Amino acid sequence: RENGQYYLDLKKDIDFDSLIDKRAESLSDSQLDRYYFDGLRRVVLEDPEAPPYVSGYRIWEHELEWRERKAGRSGYLFFGAPNERSTAQPPRDFYIYFIQPFEAPYFKDERKPDEVFFRLTQRDEEFDRALKLYAGARELSATASGSNKKIYDDKALEHLRTLTRWLQEKLTTVYEVTYQSKARSLGELLQTLFARAPSRGGVRDYVDVAAAVSLSTHFTDTAPDYPIFDTPITRTNRGQAAQDALRWIAGSVKSKLGAAVLDALEMLDGDQLRPRESRYAKHIIEQLGAKGEGQVLNRSELVQEQAGVDYWNRFRLEPEFLAVVLAGLVHSGDVVLSITGKKIDAGAIDQFAKLSVNDIAQFKHIERPRDLPLGALQELFDLLGVPKGLIVNPAKRDDAVTQLQAKVAELVNKAVLAHAHVADMVLWGKPILSEQEQTEWRQRLGDLKRFLESLQAFNTAGKLKSFPHDVAAIQAQRPGLALVREVEELGELVQQVGPTTSYLGKAEAVLQAGHPWVDQMRERRGELMAKITSPKHRADSGFQRALGQALAELKTAYQDAYLQRHVQARLGATDDQRKARLGQDPRLKQLQQLSTVEMMPTQQLRDFQNTLFGLKTCFSLTKQDLDADPICPHCAFRPVEEPFAGTKAGDRIGQLDTELDDMVQSWTNTLLGNLQDPTV
């Protein structure tokens, strides 16, 4: 060594560890403090490589979580004492100081509520050795070059790992935290938050939690009305959170983060946006209300700069959240927001999904919206059957909108169904409405549907202030609603009488043409169809009742006519027994035996038997059996296929009995005549 410098003989092996040991022992306390801070920087800063906030000073911007509100607070982290830091940086919410452990400077603790001090009070040999070796390696690296420099850097990194591991393991017991002159160990302080001091966690996590716990009262005193979030809001995600809330208000995307912001700002009631209930919104409404007619509330009256940072001064709230509250009041129709180049009212809330939160936060002023067009709205509520008093009373307008939209949705559905059913109204296979009527009705129902759908955009009380229709335009919709009811009533009529007309149509095909009932039914059908297709007669309140009565009378008359023909064409129980006896009659058997004789008229016998055995029996039919279907369910008798020959089936049994006597006599005479004929 010459002149304080070391010379290395490169021809010999270098003992780097020995050189580091020697250099470490020569370091001053101020140098050790510097390397302590250098190592600390790597474990407590959000970005260890970030440059200092003020060049030449060991000060960095830092953020803590205000745990009670889950909100980020901005401040500074400084390595050294308060009297060593620069005063060039603008004040923020807090200062965290790490005091030098080897050569601590003298300073007076002024017990400021925004200052927290961290001191390493319990060093041990392991810590001192790791720090000194780290410092020694860094010192030698600074003067080395080439491969030697890399070796020293690697050694420094190894000792830094030992140092940070020691800090990680012993942090809660070796550090003392001082707030307003009250000193506690880090572990003791953490126990006020946890049941016991946590055994795991990063150094920065412990430091941040301890500082936040100490500063909690200060944060509350500074911003007592700050919102309470249910998800952490920091400077990193604050802008996105406010943007999501704006999109929620605009109705585009309802994200969880956006809902968290709205809920914290007291603007949500379940999943409904109700900004008027928010204390933040009430403050704006009160300030705007204090303005004279035609006056506006300027941004400068709400937002003020504090040390270069804009805040909503009443609540010390970031402008992004003021933008969200204003957007909510635009949605509810309480304010009109003026930004550069445009004004946004309740009819244009979709703009909140397109504009950036910064654009809205830089608004120019807010103003009162124009009043509700109460005359037209009362007419609308009366038209739709919603109580008019709801829209007149400002306190009930949210409920008024809810009931209005429910009624609109109901009527839109009815108009759609009515439009679809115009062509479905058919009786006796013929449409009730002419083609011209169908075309006209569809047009009117389509116009009504479009009007009703236009009302769906007015889903907040604020939007109703831009309601475009006048009283005359609303009154013009009454015939359309009446038409919906007419279609519904006609549909109910068709559904009610359709089964009967279908029954009668089938019955018409069962009785033979020329039957008095068929003629009567055709005449009545013509009369009824003429009336039901006539708008004048159709509108008669007594028509539907008369129609139902006429159809019921036709059905009863048919049943009577059918039963009469059924009795004529079918054998009853007594006649069925007579038929059976006649089929077993000895006379018939004699003729059947004689039918084998060549000369006997056998065709006469076959005709007799076909007639006798062709007589059908059915004595089960009742009038009730004909209620559902016009044909006998037991024998399927169809008069059109079995025309009445003038004699009842029961009377034919007696006639056949007489015919059988005549046949026996005739056959006997024929047989005797042939036996007496000498030529046979």
Phi, psi of 655 (to 5 degrees): -65, -40
Indicate whether 564 belongs to any domain.
no
Q: Is residue 643 predicted with pLDDT exceeding 90?
A: no
The sheet carrying 342-344 orders its strands as 297-298, 365-367, 336-339, 342-344
The boundaries of the domain holding residue 338 are 238-367
The per-residue pLDDT for 680 is 56
Q: What is the DSSP letter of 317?
A: B
DSSP result, 365-424: EEEPPPPP-HHHHHHHHHHHT--THHHHSGGGHHHHHHHHHHHHHHHHHHHHHHHHHGGG
Phi, psi of 317 (to 5 degrees): -110, 145
Are 363 and 318 part of one and the same domain?
yes
How many structural domains comprise the chain?
A: 4
Compute the distance between CA of residue 168 and CA of residue 186 in angstroms, rounded to an integer: 12
**422 touches 415 (CB < 8 A):** no
Compute the distance between CA of residue 330 and CA of residue 462 in angstroms, rounded to an integer: 7
Phi, psi of 393 (to 5 degrees): -85, 115
Q: Is residue 396 predicted with pLDDT exceeding 90?
A: no
Indicate whether 431 belongs to any domain.
yes
Are 635 and 611 part of one and the same domain?
yes
Are 358 and 279 part of one and the same domain?
yes
In angstroms, the Cα distances linking 216 to 118, 207, 314 are 17, 14, 20
Q: Of the candidates 440, 462, 490, which is a domain's last residue? A: 490
Q: Is residue 196 predicted with pLDDT exceeding 60?
A: no
Q: Of the candidates 349, 367, 385, which is a domain's last residue? A: 367
Which uninterrupted H or E stretch holds 119?
A: strand 115-120
Strand, coil or helix: 11: coil
User: What is the b/e burial string over 220-234, where b = at least 16 CB atoms within 10 angstroms of the residue's CB?
Assistant: eebbeebbebeebbe
- Other beta carbons less than 10 A from residue 603's beta carbon: 9
Segment 107-124 shows an average pLDDT of: 94
Whose structure tokens read 């956006």?
258
The per-residue pLDDT for 201 is 64
Intra-chain end-to-end CA distance of the chain, in Å: 175
Indicate whether 546 belongs to any domain.
no
Are 207 and 330 part of one and the same domain?
no
pLDDT digits (tens, 9 = 90+) for 249-284: 998 889 999 999 999 999 999 888 889 889 999 999
The per-residue pLDDT for 675 is 79
pLDDT greater at residue 282 or residue 86: 282
Compute the distance between CA of residue 263 and CA of residue 270 in angstroms, rounded to an integer: 9
Indicate whether 592 belongs to any domain.
yes
Segment 574-600 shows an average pLDDT of: 90
Indicate whether 566 belongs to any domain.
no
What six digits make up the tokens of 352?
């909140």
Are 176 and 269 part of one and the same domain?
no
Cβ contacts of residue 272 below 8 Å, gap of 6+? none
pLDDT digits (tens, 9 = 90+) for 118-171: 999 999 999 999 999 999 999 999 999 888 999 999 999 999 999 999 998 899
Phi, psi of 634 (to 5 degrees): -95, -40
pLDDT digits (tens, 9 = 90+) for 301-312: 999 998 889 999
Compute the distance between CA of residue 147 and CA of residue 41 in angstroms, rounded to an integer: 26
pLDDT digits (tens, 9 = 90+) for 552-569: 999 999 999 999 999 999
Q: Of the candidates 162, 196, 222, which is a domain's last residue? A: 222
Angle (CA) 664-665-668 rounded to 5° is 85
pLDDT digits (tens, 9 = 90+) for 420-478: 999 888 888 888 888 999 999 999 999 999 999 999 999 888 888 888 888 889 999 99
Are 315 and 403 part of one and the same domain?
no
**284 touches 332 (CB < 8 A):** no
Q: Look at the pTM and tell me if it is higher than 0.75.
A: no
**259 touches 231 (CB < 8 A):** no
Indicate whether 253 belongs to any domain.
yes
Q: Is residue 606 predicted with pLDDT exceeding 90?
A: yes
**508 touches 521 (CB < 8 A):** yes
Angle (CA) 333-336-340 rounded to 5° is 150
**214 touches 68 (CB < 8 A):** no
pLDDT greater at residue 80 or residue 541: 80
What six digits make up the tokens of 410?
């109901």
Nearest-10 crossing angle of helices 397-421, 478-508? 40
Compute the distance between CA of residue 114 and CA of residue 221 in angstroms, rounded to an integer: 11
Q: What is the DSSP letter of 338?
A: E
Q: Is residue 76 predicted with pLDDT exceeding 80?
A: yes
Q: Is residue 321 predicted with pLDDT exceeding 70?
A: yes
**521 touches 504 (CB < 8 A):** yes
Of 65, 345, 357, the residue nearest 212 (C-alpha) = 65
Q: Is residue 638 predicted with pLDDT exceeding 50?
A: yes
Are 329 and 448 part of one and the same domain?
no
Length of the chain (residues): 680
Indicate whether 101 belongs to any domain.
yes
Q: What is the DSSP letter of 91?
A: P
SS3 content of the chain, % helix, strand, coil (to 5): 60, 10, 30
The per-residue pLDDT for 88 is 67
pLDDT tier at 225 (50, 70, 90 boundaries)?
very high
Strand, coil or helix: 179: strand
Bridge partners (DSSP) of residue 363 are none
pLDDT digits (tens, 9 = 90+) for 330-382: 988 889 999 988 999 888 889 999 999 999 999 999 998 888 888 889 899 99
The per-residue pLDDT for 3 is 54
Are 319 and 458 part of one and the same domain?
no
The per-residue pLDDT for 287 is 94
pLDDT digits (tens, 9 = 90+) for 488-542: 988 888 888 889 999 999 999 999 888 999 999 999 999 888 888 877 777 677 8
CA contacts within 13 A on the Cβ side of 612: 24
Compute the distance between CA of residue 24 and CA of residue 80 in angstroms, rounded to an integer: 22
Q: Over 626-637, what HEC string results?
A: HCCCCCCCCCCC
Are 67 and 163 part of one and the same domain?
yes
Cβ contacts of residue 369 below 8 Å, gap of 6+? 333, 334, 335, 336, 345, 346, 462, 465
The per-residue pLDDT for 294 is 85
The per-residue pLDDT for 202 is 82
Segment 96-118 shows an average pLDDT of: 95
pLDDT tier at 5 (50, 70, 90 boundaries)?
low
Q: Is residue 194 predicted with pLDDT exceeding 80?
A: no
Compute the distance between CA of residue 586 and CA of residue 664 in angstroms, rounded to an integer: 11
Are 259 and 344 part of one and the same domain?
yes
Of 34, 7, 30, the residue nearest 134 (C-alpha) = 34
Compute the distance between CA of residue 119 and CA of residue 104 in angstroms, rounded to an integer: 10
Rounded to the nearest integer, the mean pLDDT of the chain is 90
Strand, coil or helix: 565: helix
Bridge partners (DSSP) of residue 317 are 312
The per-residue pLDDT for 2 is 46
Are 46 and 174 part of one and the same domain?
yes
Bridge partners (DSSP) of residue 2 are 5
Indicate whether 352 belongs to any domain.
yes
Are 309 and 359 part of one and the same domain?
yes
